[in-house]
Amino acid sequence: MSDNCDQGPPGSKQCQCTMPHRSGELTVFGHFIYLDGVADFNSYFHQDKSPRHCRRDEQPLEPGADGFLKREHTLVRPFQGVGADLWDFTGSTIVTGTHIRLTPDHQSKTGAIWNRIPCMLRNWEVLIHFKVHGAGVDLYGDGFAFWLTKDRNEMGKVFGSKDPFSGLGIFFDTYSNQNGEHAHVHPYVSAIVNNGSVKYDHDFDGTHIQVAGCSAPFRGREHDTFVSIRFVNNRLAVKLDIDGTSEWRHCFDVDGVFLPLGYYFGISAATGDLADNHDILTFKAFELPTDETSDITDTALLNMVPHAKTAEAPRERTEDKPVGMFQRRSTSTIFMFLMLLITCGGIIFFLIKRQQANAKKRFY
């Protein structure tokens, strides 16, 4: 490994380190690993862990810095050949050499990508390079979802995927359907762990069963946007890099999340009356170190029912409090109603005055 380690942009936590490789030069930069040539990623990571860190006075690269890239769960450009054949592309999905477009900026579209290989990793991290954009300025939707679920490649109403689902769903919701007491600023990122028995409530943005969530303005950015989804020892953490500063910010970090082995990775997106382009540029999965002291067998994890201790308990759907007639009407409707009253009042006043004038004439 070279002793030189160049720092990234000022104020960032990233740096760049290079080392010779037998079939090219491997460069670790920021969040992702780029290779000029052909190499065995897994062999590289297992041989020497030191290249994944910068000089002693620098912060280690993260996320993905302490993991082994799993090519069977990874999808990178140009999305052809080995790797791409382990994924299904469904619905309105369009694959180009630079990105995968799950939905175009048109109404009523659904698209998805699904990994064909079940995930047998106890601890893992997924890094997604994504872009959500479109012609809409104030109105756009609906968003996309990351999945680790029992069933795969089944289209449905939850951001283009099956409802109900069994497993983990992380939702990148760009349109607010809820304006009541549980409303939050959109775009909104939230996680739900479902055992397959509870349906997603679009009218309330799924908040009645969510594990955690945060507001994150990831839509319509000119720069690159990334998300890190990390699951380690029953702890689920989501971080975002959406500000163009090459720095991660926490969205949520919750303990007590239990996910089975043998489920499938996927991403889906949907548009309705509103629309957006939902693009995936890379999907990288890493295996993270496992707690050797755990006494839970793989068989037990295969048969586990997904659940989360911190999830809100399912509850009956509570409608927003009713409001008065004038509160429900738009400003333009109220204005027209007032104008009609004024007009009618003017006509009545004119008729009364005319009748009084005619009555006076009869006395002369």
Res 140: pLDDT:
87
**The pLDDT value given to residue 209:** 79
- pLDDT for position 226: 97
pLDDT for res 118 = 98
Q: What was the pLDDT predicted at 314? A: 52
Residues in the chain, pLDDT under 70: 1-65, 177-183, 202-207, 311-336, 357-364
**Nearest by Cα to 181 from 201, 159, 162, 207:** 207
pTM of the model: 0.70
Q: How much is the mean pLDDT over the chain? A: 77
